[in-house]
């Protein structure tokens, strides 16, 4: 009996396997939205870019202010410590917490030094975490502590204004502006800092609780998901015709997804902070 002939694939052309391109990692609903009509206004939903793609073009210059708005664990601190602070040659962090197991170790890995002395020395200590002692001293009242804290932060801000060229990072700027009543000192740096190449980098949970100049003077805005209409309205005050779009878009962002606005050009991009 002759041997069986086993067919081979030699000479046979198999159909080419076609794979669909991987979808973007942003909100699928937003990726597919295209143009939307909101309150009679038609808008193009901002495109989505991966973190790597976005960071290839995000190059804030010294003197350009940056403001991020988002609730706790939204990704705003990671955004600052991974996207913004590594590019600063001279920076002082205004620390407002005694302990921060996420922020402080990350900053130290970037070369920041912790100090409770408000005097700055750009040559010896270009990267500083200023954390004043909040411990109540003997015969000191709670009001006395607040006065002492205010004096320390005010001295740091004064030295930054005098030296120029610094970056300032406030992880929760509301405490400094409202609780310690440093709004006037901060506003000077927001309004006049650009000419002295001072970069203000701040984040907050509630935009209604910080000075309006934090938005008016910002060259770069990062807005995380929020459903609070008061927050959205406060943000939209500085975006004019984009108010309807922000009201529609911000509640629809996914966790860690962020809307970036380049205020001088009006350019908007959605991206995601990889936690």
Determine the angle formed by the axes of helices 142-163 and 183-192, rounding to 10 degrees.
10
The pLDDT of residue 22 is 47
The pLDDT of residue 52 is 95
**255 sits in which H/E element:** none
The pLDDT of residue 3 is 53
> Measured between alpha carbons, how far is 108 from 127 in angstroms, rounded to an integer?
9
Contact by Cβ (8 Å): 210, 174: yes
Q: Which residues contact 118 (CB under 8 A, 6 or more apart)?
A: 130, 132, 152, 153, 155, 156, 159
Q: Alpha carbon of 1 to those of 4, 6, 7, 190, 261: distances in Å?
A: 9, 15, 18, 94, 79
The pLDDT of residue 25 is 53
> Measured between alpha carbons, how far is 202 from 188 in angstroms, rounded to an integer?
15
> Measured between alpha carbons, how far is 163 from 62 in angstroms, rounded to an integer?
14
**Block means of pLDDT (10 residues each) for the chain, length 275 residues?**
50 49 56 72 88 95 94 91 93 92 93 95 96 88 93 96 95 89 95 94 86 90 91 76 82 94 92 91
- Cite the DSSP H helix spans in 65-196: 76-79, 103-109, 142-163, 173-174, 183-192
The pLDDT of residue 228 is 86
> Measured between alpha carbons, how far is 187 from 204 in angstroms, rounded to an integer?
16
The pLDDT of residue 104 is 94
Assign 3-state DSSP to the chain and report helix, strand, coil percentages, each to 5.
Answer: 35, 20, 45
The pLDDT of residue 211 is 86
* pTM of the predicted model as reported, rounded to 2 decimal places: 0.85
Which domains are seen in the chain, by residue range?
35-272 (3.40.50.300)
């Amino acid at each position: 009996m002759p041997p069986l002939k086993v067919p081979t694939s030699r000479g046979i052309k198999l159909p080419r396997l076609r794979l669909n391109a991987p979808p973007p990692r942003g909100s699928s609903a937003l990726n597919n939205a295209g143009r939307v009509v909101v309150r009679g206004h038609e808008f193009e939903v901002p495109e989505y870019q991966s973190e790597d793609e976005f960071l290839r073009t995000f190059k804030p210059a010294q003197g350009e202010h940056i403001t991020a708005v988002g609730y706790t664990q939204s990704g705003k601190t990671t955004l600052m410590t991974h996207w913004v602070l590594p590019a600063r040659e001279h920076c002082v962090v205004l620390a407002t917490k005694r302990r921060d197991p996420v922020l402080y170790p990350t900053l130290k890995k970037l070369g920041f030094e912790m100090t409770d002395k408000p005097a700055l020395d750009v040559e010896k200590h270009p990267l500083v975490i200023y954390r004043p002692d909040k411990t109540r001293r003997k015969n000191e009242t709670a009001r006395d502590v607040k006065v002492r804290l205010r004096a320390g932060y005010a001295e740091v801000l004064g030295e930054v204004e005098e030296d120029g060229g610094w970056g300032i990072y406030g992880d929760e700027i509301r405490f400094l502006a409202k609780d310690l009543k440093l709004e006037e000192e901060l506003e000077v740096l927001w309004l006049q800092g650009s000419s002295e190449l001072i970069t203000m980098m701040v984040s907050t949970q509630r935009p209604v609780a910080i000075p309006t100049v934090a938005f008016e003077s910002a060259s770069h805005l990062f807005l995380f998901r929020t459903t609070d209409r008061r927050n959205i309205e406060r943000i939209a005050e500085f975006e004019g015709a984009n108010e309807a779009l922000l009201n529609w878009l911000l509640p629809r962002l996914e966790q860690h997804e962020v809307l970036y606005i380049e205020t001088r050009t009006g350019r908007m991009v959605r991206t995601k902070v990889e936690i």
